[in-house]
Structure 1
Amino acid sequence: MPPLSSVTQVGPNELARAAAIDFARRLVRHWQEALGTELLGAYAIGSAAHGGFNLRYSDLDIALVTAAGLSPQALDRLRSEAFELSVDWGSKVSVFWTNRHFSLGRFPPLDRIDYLDHAVVLMERECIKPPRPTLEDIRQYLRGAPFANWADGARNFAAAERLEPKDRKAYLRTLLYPGRFCYSWMTGLMASNDDAVAFVNERPPARLTVGLIARALECRQTAADPDALFSARRTLLSQIDACASLFAEGYDLPR
């Protein structure tokens, strides 16, 4: 038996990720019974797959590839089964789905990249590989609804007088997203918050306040409340401008 000093300690987030994958596998067995041969494959994506999973702040993203797609009624049934299996884990489940042609459903370009590069197989009857989104595909996607929705939320937080407990998770994500936007804009890839923050720290876009993003990452890693960061909320307005400038002015970060 090796000495205790040589035994690698497994952190709480690694244990949480293992528990999340275990729950996802059990859940997918229930979904297989419901969907039968319609379900071609089920996969963990998101932070449970590409890294940085956090028990408090992470969702459990599960991607389903089906033969012909899912009806709203079928989706509701799948979500209900997740809650029935575990209220705690079921509340974290976020379902991404498509048909075999990747022409229907909820499966944005960045999540397709995540699926192609990082997916953890939960079950697979048939391996379906969609065309890889190009860098320009990713950029067109980011400058659309993802940026607009994040910017709206960021402005709301910037104008708020207090941070409600129910909004802590959303606020922390809002602080972190500029790093993820810039990382994916420059690389066309999906990665963990840790990797995105490391990237923008090494190659900071003009006017982006990287220090605030790094503080938000530390808060996430330790599963702390982000209340101490609320005083910096108006910095989100300049973060919006920094991301908008990157999207509008060119593709290259300072070297």
Structure 2
Amino acid sequence: MKTNNIEILALINYLKQLIIKSFKSDAVSIYIMGSLARGGFSEIASDIDLGIVFSGQLYDAKEKIKIILSDTKKKFPTVNNKISIFWGSIESINGQIEAGRYPPFDRLDLINHALLLSGQDVRSLLIRPSKKELEIASAYFSINNLATKERIKEFYDCARIARKGVVYTTKTILFPARFIYLQRTGEIAGNKESSHYYQCNFKGPGTKLIEIGYYWRLNNLPKDLDIVSNYLKEGLCQLYINYINIYIQSMDKYNEIEIRNKLEKWKKEITG
């Protein structure tokens, strides 16, 4: 596991025990995912990602997981990292039934990078998502989460982003690099690898923004938020245009016209 933070390690162990206790009638496989498994974990900005694969029924899993998350946050109030739990059965993860929470991006992360915490390793039974599925899911995620009215306003007033703190700011900066890496390679990577890939393959103010964004992710934002706003003003639009253009080409290739049109609309909205 890619952290030596005693409190975070204790939190993960507490989560593991709580999951086992809550689902004692089912055999469960519990995994560490994300940057805690791949590397590049930031105590300042990273999420704590866990994955659960059930062998039994899923009918009450969602409610139990809500309780588990609530109890854990109360137990560890000083850990500010967001905790995400992905869950499902082999059948739901493989798309044979509709249930659980394993988007394609996180399913691939589970298959390729996760570390087993408890139970039997069942990843050999899971179906790897296709590159097409990953790209379409990434485009949908972007449209639904990064192209909102509030997000679009932020392109014209970057101080809004800086004021929301290091997690929000660095995710805003680094998401495009991660999705570009996925589209170009068919693989997922952490922020370190994807930001390095962007810097090696693109030029301009967006590249400088990626470089400084990754530095901020590890070291926090400067106290003078005007510095952050200025970097964002110079590079954010170019970064997102590069990203959107790449995914427009992908949606053309897959004949996903509706998604393509939404991406075009988004690009127009952020470029005025």
Q: Please classify the TM superposition score into its range, dividing by the shorter chain length.
A: 0.7 to 0.9
Name 2:269's counterpart in structure 1. Answer: none
Count of residue pairs brought into register by the alignment: 237
Task: Work out whether 1:115 is the aligned partner of 2:110.
Answer: yes
- Conserved? CA contact 2:109–2:188, under 8 Å: yes
Asked if structure 2 preserves the Cα contact closer than 8 Å seen for 1:82 and 1:93, the reply is no
What residue in structure 2 maps to residue 209 of structure 1? 206
TM-superposed deviation, 1:41: 0.8
TM-score, scaled to structure 1: 0.81
1:144 aligns to 2:130 (yes or no): no
Secondary structure at the aligned position of 1:54 is classed as: coil
Residue 169 (structure 1) aligned with residue 164 (structure 2): no
**1:68 counterpart letter in structure 2:** Q
Tell me the residue number matched to 1:249: 249
* Structure-2 residue corresponding to 1:3: none
Q: CA RMSD for the aligned pairs?
A: 2.6
Q: How far did residue 32 of structure 1 move?
A: 0.7
- The structure 2 residue matched to 1:219, chosen from 216, 219, 225, is 216
Query: For 1:239 and 1:154, how far apart are their aligned partners in 2?
Result: 14
Aligned-residue sequence identity (percent) comes to: 19
- 2:228 counterpart of 1:229: yes
Which one-letter code corresponds to 1:178 in the other structure? P
SS of residue matched to 1:155 = helix
- Structure 1: gaps spanning 5 or more residues: 1-12
1:83 pairs, out of 48, 73, 76, with 73
Give the aligned residue type for 1:127.
V
Cα distance in 2 for partners of 1:106, 1:94 equals 10
Contact 2:45/2:218, CA 8 A, preserved across alignment:
no
| CA gap 1:126/1:199 in 2 versus in 1, 3 angstroms | closer
Does the 8 Å contact 1:208/1:242 carry over to 2? no
Partners of 1:161 and 1:247 in 2: how far apart? 24
Calculate the TM-score normalised by the size of structure 2.
Answer: 0.77
**Conservation of the 8 A alpha-carbon contact between 2:3 and 2:36:** no
Residues 171-190 of structure 1 aligned to structure 2 (within 5 Å): 171-190=169-188
Q: 1:136: Cα distance to partner?
A: 1.3
Which aligned pairs between 1:38-77 and structure 2 lie closer than 5 A?
38-66=26-54, 67-69=56-58, 70-77=60-67
- Give the corresponding residue for 2:259: none
Match of 1:157 in 2: 154
Task: Compute the displacement of 1:38 (Å).
Answer: 2.4
Higher alpha-carbon deviation: 27-36 or 159-168: 159-168
